[in-house]
Amino acid sequence: MRRKMAAGNWKMNGLRSSLAELDKLARAHPTAKCDLLVCPPATLLCAAATTCGNSAIRVGGQTCHDAVSGAHTGDISAQMLRDAGATAVILGHSERRQDHDERSEDVRLLAQAAQAANLQTVICVGESLFQRQATNTLDIIGAQLSLSIPDSSTGENLVVAYEPVWAIGSGMTPTPDQIGEVHDFMRARLEQRFGYGVGKSVRLLYGGSVKPANAAEIFAISNVDGALVGGASLKAEDFSPIIAALE
C-alpha cells in the first residue's frame, strides 16, 4: 500500500512573511496520514525547516546542481539543500526544462546527485499541448521517464509527478480518463524497468491546476498517489483542504 503524498511547489514565490502560511499549515497538520512536503524558494529553506519543526511537513528544494561544490555561480548543490534542512528536491519541472533548457539527460544527472546526497527526488514529466494534440503523449512520457530517472531509484527516493504542461497554472485540467491513462502507463513502465516490487512502490503524483475543488476527483483516479500543487500551496487555507482530501 503506497502512502499518499501532497507536495507544494512555491516556485519563485515567497518572502520571509510567507512563512506565516507555512506556520499555519504546520499547526494544522501536527501529524498526518500522508506525506507532506513543501518546496519554498532556496532563500527560505533554512527558515522553512525551522518553521516546520516537529510537524508532519518536510521541506524540499526546487532543483539542484549535479556537482557537490565548485565554481558554479548562483547554483546550489544537493548537499547544500540537505544541509539547509531539505529532505527532497523537485527535478525536471517543465518550467526548468523551458527556462533553463534542461533536457531529460540533464535531469537524470541532477537526480543521481540528489539521490547520492540522500534526497528524495520528485521527477516531473509532462507533454505540451502540441504533443497531446499530435497524439504523442505516451511516447513523450515514456521517453522522459526512461531518460530522466536514474538506475539508483527506489520506492523511497523516487516520486514521479505527471504535469501536463498545458495544465500548469492555466486552470485547465485533463479529464480523469486522460490522467488515468498516463498514470497507468507510468506504473507499467516503472514495473517493467525496476521490477514489480519497486515499480509498484514509487508514488505517482498528478500536478497542474490542482485546487480544493478538484482534488477529491483527481485523487480517486487509479495510480494517482497524491499531488504536486503550485498556486494552491501558497496559502494554508487552500492547501489544507487538498491535504484533507488525501487523508
| Site of interaction with ligand G2H (CB under 6 A) | 9, 163, 168-169, 207-210, 228-232
**Rounded distance between C-alpha atoms, residue 48 and residue 38, angstroms:** 9
Minimum distance of ligand G2H from residue 126's CB (angstroms): 8
Minimum distance of ligand G2H from residue 48's CB (angstroms): 17
Residue written as cell 491546476?
209
User: What angle is formed at CA 204 by the lines to CA 201 and CA 207, rounded to 5 degrees?
Assistant: 165
First to last CA, the chain: 14
Backbone angles phi, psi at 164, to 5 degrees: -60, 125
Q: Identify which of residues 79 and 161 has a Cβ nearer to ligand G2H in the complex.
A: 161
**Alpha helix (H) residue ranges in 6-150:** 19-28, 45-52, 78-83, 94-99, 104-116, 129-133, 137-148
Any catalytic annotation for residue 163?
yes
Minimum distance of ligand G2H from residue 122's CB (angstroms): 9
Cα dihedral across residues 117, 91, 195, 227: positive or negative? positive
Count of H helices and E strands in the chain? 11, 8
Any catalytic annotation for residue 183?
no
Among 93, 95, 102, 183, which one carries the catalytic annotation?
93
Q: Identify which of residues 32 and 229 has a Cβ nearer to ligand G2H in the complex.
A: 229
Backbone angles phi, psi at 82, to 5 degrees: -60, -45
Q: Which residue is nearest to ligand G2H (CB)?
A: 230
Set of cell numbers at residue 34: 500522508
Q: Identify which of residues 124 and 194 has a Cβ nearer to ligand G2H in the complex.
A: 124
Minimum distance of ligand G2H from residue 54's CB (angstroms): 26
Minimum distance of ligand G2H from residue 114's CB (angstroms): 17
User: What angle is formed at CA 220 by the lines to CA 214 and CA 225, rounded to 5 degrees?
Assistant: 100
Q: Identify which of residues 91 and 168 has a Cβ nearer to ligand G2H in the complex.
A: 168
**Rounded distance between C-alpha atoms, residue 170 and residue 55, angstroms:** 32
Among 95, 102, 127, 163, which one carries the catalytic annotation?
163
Residue written as cell 497531446?
132
Q: Identify which of residues 91 and 114 has a Cβ nearer to ligand G2H in the complex.
A: 91
Catalytic residue numbers, as ranges: 93, 163
